[in-house]
Amino acid sequence: MSKTKIMFAFLLLSVFFLLSSSVLAQAEPVLYFCEKYGRNGEVGVSDRFTTGYLTVMVKCDYALELDDVSIQFDKYNERNGKFEYYKKFDYTVEPDMAYVFFAKNDDSDLKFEEPGFYRVFLLDDRDRTVASALIEIIRK
């Protein structure tokens, strides 16, 4: 290989590493879970919990610009190897929110009754995915 080709490859590789190092870790909304959200913030953040009630957290670098949203659970079916609809809860949020939690209320229990793997979605008012995450639920 000629020196020109080696220099070009080195330059290209250098540019790639420089560009990739400036990429932000959180470019889109992130969905995650905790035991509860209290006066001091999140308590017990994890992706593995025992059966029961949980709080779903969504954090973003910018306002989500949403009004009516849903949290949907899909449970993994080991028999057919696919996620299947489990349940869904509706919430109302303010458009300027960039950090929001979804917890048990009068209309939504956010309870995982059965152990298993779940895919959890934050959906907009047209049922489009805003953010999603996986969670494992184990027996108490």
User: For the chain, what is the HEC assignment?
Assistant: CCHHHHHHHHHHHHHHHHHHHCCCCCCCCEEEEECEEECCEEECCECEEECEECEEEEECCCCCCCCEEEEEEEEEECCCCEEEEEEEEEEECCCCCCEEEECCCCCCCCEECCCEEEEEEEECCCCCEEEEEEEEEECC
pLDDT recorded at residue 122: 97
Higher pLDDT, 44 or 12: 44
| pLDDT category of residue 27 using cuts at 50, 70 and 90 | low
Q: What is the distance between the alpha carbons of residues 111 and 75, in angstroms, rounded to a whole number?
A: 13
**Assigned CATH class of 24-138:** mainly beta
pLDDT digits over 83-109, tens only?
A: 999 999 999 999 999 999 999 888 888
pLDDT at 7 over 60: no
50: left (phi over 0), alpha (psi -120 to 50) or beta: beta
pLDDT digits over 32-88, tens only?
A: 999 999 888 899 999 999 999 999 999 999 999 999 999 999 999 999 999 999 999
Q: Sketch the domain layout of the chain as residue ranges.
A: 24-138
| pTM for the whole structure | 0.77
